[in-house]
Structures are given as structure tokens and as C-alpha cells.
Amino acid sequence: MKKKPLILVTNDDGITAPGIRTLIETMKEFGEVVVVAPDSPQSGMGHAVTLHQPLRLDEVDIYPDIRAFQSSGTPVDCVKLAVDIVLDRKPDLLVSGINHGSNSSINVIYSGTMSAAVEGAIEGISSIGFSLLDYSYHANFKPLVPYIRQIASEVLEKQLPAGTLLNVNFPKAEKFKDIKGVRVCRQALAKWEENFVERTDPNGRQYYWMTGRFVNDDQGDDTDEWALKHGYVSVVPVQFDLTDHHQIPFINRWNFHVQ
Amino acid sequence: MKKKPLILVTNDDGITAPGIRTLIETMKEFGEVVVVAPDSPQSGMGHAVTLHQPLRLDEVDIYPDIRAFQSSGTPVDCVKLAVDIVLDRKPDLLVSGINHGSNSSINVIYSGTMSAAVEGAIEGISSIGFSLLDYSYHANFKPLVPYIRQIASEVLEKQLPAGTLLNVNFPKAEKFKDIKGVRVCRQALAKWEENFVERTDPNGRQYYWMTGRFVNDDQGDDTDEWALKHGYVSVVPVQFDLTDHHQIPFINRWNFHVQ
């Protein structure tokens, strides 16, 4: 008899966020769910790991019939703790999210949610990051559930190739019918233009708040930004081999000879 | 008359680390150097950004004739602060490092040093991360200088293509002659296998220290790990488009239709 799939759930908004609650509920239909997630919000943590501080990891009783652990670490720490300490076998699936806010385009690189999924793929686990284009704590996750179910089901059945994970972003939707379907996309070549707001503290010293404007000059209709803008779910296959293989011949012609 | 190149220098070991000192000294030969670096060590911070805390940025007088700023932020924050607040024009070159410890293979993704260089590339700046396979504070950076000079000179002359930066790793060397030359490589497909050490605090609560073992099963002789092992400098062209383009046709055949 085939074992029930083991599914690891994590996020970067913290273990009690509505987004992860929706993901836990949906994943229960597929197998045994174990949650290892940060004890507080960790947005924008990227692929940070905690090397020079100790980590806490505590079992918590917040989801009925689900083994759940909160950690003081980053999302990537959570995946490492799950694999090394919590789980006795490699999970069949890792899902991260649902993030409150989209992680399309360049945001894949800043996102703790996506970095947790990347770490899953590095560990050889089929991994998916889910995000919704709505930053609100009270975002409506319900219309996404049929899509999450379908995407998770395909990944469990077909298995992702080694080195590949999925970055799934949802447009904001009031009801299921508002979503037009799924597009397999590439990451749009967009970026943030920062604008730091300068303030002065009561002691007369300056400090800065990071703010920014998202700028997308990528006009392609095969990008995740295009899909979201037009009401589609974007699915981007993501890799953690950062080598720009196509540039190797170009760089190879440079002169690196030192006398 | 052509303007002197403007060179932004950063790192993740902190603004006073010997590695960044070497880099500043070497870059002074090429143009005007401005330093914006973390005020304390930030190893393993990956591409983390500080979204929900204010940042400090203070000019410091530690390098003769060099404008230098320290920040409470991550290496990526430092690049953003440099571009938005400190510099009045886009630098011609960003160099990050020299990291105390190598950032070859999968370490590119955890490294604050490399993430700062990635951020530079996102901002459209020709960027290079330099790292030495020696974690010691007292590592010997001197033998690397002629190579750093040559690589920086090539980048300034030829300019990196948009979307590409360089990850340069040096083998440990006592003298210049110990280094065999430069190899343009791909990132080895290796990873860390974590082993958390469990301890108990004075209040009886458990905590964990992350430790790990680097495992490289990639036998290719075109990898950065191979180059370092055989005494060469590895140069890997790196990209921040994480799309696994080759998998798009495969994922496109999946069934994402929801009733």
C-alpha cells in the first residue's frame, strides 16, 4: 500500500497568518501535513539563514490534528529545521505561503516565502510557493483554493524535475469565476526603484525608511506580470542554478591573464 | 575628457573587515571609490531587505581620502541606500567582498556578499562579488590583488551584459605563484546537509545551532568547485532571472484546468 503523501507547509508571514491557514486546510485533503513556520513575520528575508545565533523551535497546538512548529528563524531556517529535526522522512511536497502580497517578477529574489520553496528544491523536495496579489491581512484566499488543489495535485502526480520549483501567483479575486485560468510564464524583468524617506530621531540622528515603486518595462505577454494584470494565475518554473550559462562563451573570450 | 570611473564597494563581513580593506585599496587605482557597507557582520543574509525597521546610514572616517558610510542594514540594503541616497550618479562598477570564506556553488544564494552584487546588477550596474576560500579574519588577501585588478579592468573595459554579474572565488594561497590562473565556470550543483546541534538553556528550554556539511556530488570539471580544488580562480557569470526557461514546455503540458 502506498504511503499517504507527507506535506511540509511553511511561509514568511508567520505561523498564524490567514494565508498559511488556507494552505494547511487545503493540503489536509492530500495527505499528512506538518507545519514548520516562523513565529513572527519574516517578509523580505530572502534566502537569509541564521548562522551566528541559536534558533528556537517549539511545537505549538494551534491547528487541530496537525503537527505544527514555530521557529525564531527565517523561512529558510524553518525548512532546514523541518528536514533535519522534525521530519523522519523527506516530504513528498513542500508548499510555502499563501503569501499576503505577490511574489512575481524580481520579488522572487527578496521573498522569504519563495526562498523557503527554493530551499525545499535544493533539498530535493518538490516545492511550490503560493502568493496572492493582495497585501491585506484580511485578503480573500477562498477563490484560489480550487487552483491550489489542482496545481498541488499535478505536482504530486507528475513530480517536478530536479532543480526546479514553482512560483505561483494569484490575481486578487472576489470569487472563483473572476480568475481566468492558469498561464505558465517567465519572470518579468522588472525591478524596484527605491525612495528612502529620511526622518530625524528625538536625539537628532537621521534614520531611513525604505519605500519604493515597482517599475515594469517588460512588455512581454509571456511574463508573470502580464498574467496577473490580465486576471490569470501565473506559474513560473524557478531554478536555483544561478549560472548565466549563455554568457560563458562571451566571458571566456576575456583576458584574465596576469603576468 | 572622460570622467574617472565611480566605484561602489560593499561587503557582508562589515565595513572594517580586512577583505573590504584590500578591495578598497585595489579599487583606488581605477577611479573614485565610495564605500557603503554594513556596520556589523551580515554573513548568510542572502537577499534580505529591511522592510519593517528603519535603517541607519552614517558617514565614517576610517579610510583616508575615501567617502565611506556604514549602515545598520543588510548588504542589499547598503546597495539600495548607496544608489538612492549616497551617490549622485550610477556607479561604473560595484565590487563586493572580499568575502572571508568562499561563495562558490550553492553558497551564492545564501551569501550577503553575492546578494549585494546581484542587487547591483538588478540596478543595472556592472557588478562583481569576490570571495576567498579562507574564513579566517587574518586570511592572506595579498596574492589575489593582481587577479582582482585584471578582472575589474576587463569588466570596466568590456562591460557586463545587462542581467549578468560575476561571482569570483579565490583558492587559498600563500603567494601569487600558488594560483594557477582563471577558469570561467558554472556553479557546481552541490549543497549543505544541515546538522543542528541541540542545547538546553538555563531555563530548561531547547535551542539549536545550525551546523552543516558541504556535499558536492557534481563531478564536472567545468564547475567552480573543481577550479578552486585545483588551484584556479573561478569566475561564474550569474543571473537574477530565476526562470527555469527550459522547463516551460514541460510544465505547459500539465493540466491546470479547474472546473
- Mark yes or no for CB contact B256/A182 under 8 Å: yes
Overall pTM > 0.90: yes
- Mark yes or no for CB contact A186/B56 under 8 Å: no
Distances (CA, A) of B175 to A241, B114, B142, B180, B225: 32, 25, 8, 11, 21
Does the pLDDT at position A259 exceed 90? Answer: no
pLDDT digits (tens, 9 = 90+) for A170-225: 999 999 999 999 999 999 999 999 999 999 999 999 999 999 999 999 999 999 99
User: Could you tell me the pLDDT band of residue B2, with boundaries at 50, 70 and 90?
Assistant: low
- Share of residues in chain A with pLDDT > 90 (%): 98
User: Could you tell me the pLDDT band of residue A2, with boundaries at 50, 70 and 90?
Assistant: low
Average pLDDT, stretch B211-237? 97
- Share of residues in chain A with pLDDT > 70 (%): 99
Question: Is the four-CA dihedral A95, A97, A101, A106 of positive or negative sign?
Answer: negative
Does the pLDDT at position B47 exceed 60? Answer: yes
Residues of B in contact with A70 (CB under 8 A): none
Cβ neighbours of A5 (radius 10 Å): 16
CA distance A123 to A129: 15
Average pLDDT, stretch A42-64? 95
| Contacts made by residues B56-62, CB under 8 angstroms, sequence distance 24+ | B56/A205, B56/A206, B56/A207, B56/A208, B57/A206, B57/A208, B57/B81, B57/B85, B57/B86, B60/B15, B62/B15, B62/B16
Residues of A in contact with B42 (CB under 8 A): none
Q: How far is B180 from chain A (nearest CA, A)?
A: 10
User: Could you tell me the pLDDT band of residue B3, with boundaries at 50, 70 and 90?
Assistant: confident
- Scan residues 200-219 of B and list those with Cβ closer than 8 Å to A: 205-210
Q: Residue B254's closest chain A neighbor by CA?
A: A154
Does the pLDDT at position B252 exceed 80? Answer: yes
- Scan residues 26-65 of A and list those with Cβ closer than 8 Å to B: 41, 43-52, 54-57
Average pLDDT, stretch B72-90? 97
Does the pLDDT at position B1 exceed 90? Answer: no
Cβ neighbours of A64 (radius 10 Å): 6
Average pLDDT score, chain A: 96
Could you identify the residue written with the cell 557588478? Answer: B127
pLDDT of the residue at A29: 96
The type of residue at B24 is I
- Mark yes or no for CB contact B210/A166 under 8 Å: no
CATH architecture of A6-188+220-252: 3-Layer(aba) Sandwich (3.40)
The beta-carbon neighbor of B208 closest among A57, A109, A248 is A57
Q: What are the beta bridge partners of residue B69?
A: B36, B59
Does the beta carbon of A158 lie under 8 angstroms from any beta carbon of chain B? yes
Does the pLDDT at position B13 exceed 90? Answer: yes
Q: Residue B158's closest chain A neighbor by CA?
A: A254
- Mark yes or no for CB contact B243/A238 under 8 Å: yes
Q: What are the beta bridge partners of residue B32?
A: B6
* CATH class of segment(s) B6-189+220-252: alpha beta
Average pLDDT, stretch A51-80? 97
The beta-carbon neighbor of B106 closest among A108, A122, A167 is A122
CA distance A118 to B46: 12
- Mark yes or no for CB contact B238/A243 under 8 Å: yes
pLDDT digits (tens, 9 = 90+) for A127-136: 999 999 999 9
Residue partners of B69: CB distance under 8 A and separation at least 6: B34, B35, B36, B37, B57, B58, B59, B60, B81, B82, B86
- Mark yes or no for CB contact A46/B50 under 8 Å: no
Does the beta carbon of A175 lie under 8 angstroms from any beta carbon of chain B? no
Average pLDDT score, chain B: 96
Q: How far is A56 from chain B (nearest CA, A)?
A: 5
Q: Residue A129, exposed/middle/buried by CB under 10 A (0-12, 13-18, 19+)?
A: buried
Residues of B in contact with A191 (CB under 8 A): 122-123
Does the beta carbon of A154 lie under 8 angstroms from any beta carbon of chain B? yes
Q: Residue A222's closest chain B neighbor by CA?
A: B248
| Pick from A14, A59, A63, A20: nearest CA to A40 | A14
Residues of A in contact with B170 (CB under 8 A): none
pLDDT digits (tens, 9 = 90+) for A142-163: 999 999 999 999 999 999 999 9
Residues of A in contact with B233 (CB under 8 A): 256
Residues of A in contact with B189 (CB under 8 A): 163, 241
Does the beta carbon of A251 lie under 8 angstroms from any beta carbon of chain B? yes
3-state secondary structure A54-76: CECEEEECCCCCCEEEEECCCHH
Does the beta carbon of B81 lie under 8 angstroms from any beta carbon of chain A? yes
Residues of A in contact with B197 (CB under 8 A): none
DSSP class of residue A26 equals H
pLDDT digits (tens, 9 = 90+) for B153-200: 999 999 999 999 999 999 999 999 999 999 999 999 999 999 999 999
Residues of A in contact with B76 (CB under 8 A): 46, 110
pLDDT of the residue at A3: 79
Could you identify the residue written with the cell 511550490? Answer: A128
pLDDT of the residue at A165: 98
pLDDT of the residue at A12: 96
pLDDT of the residue at B259: 78
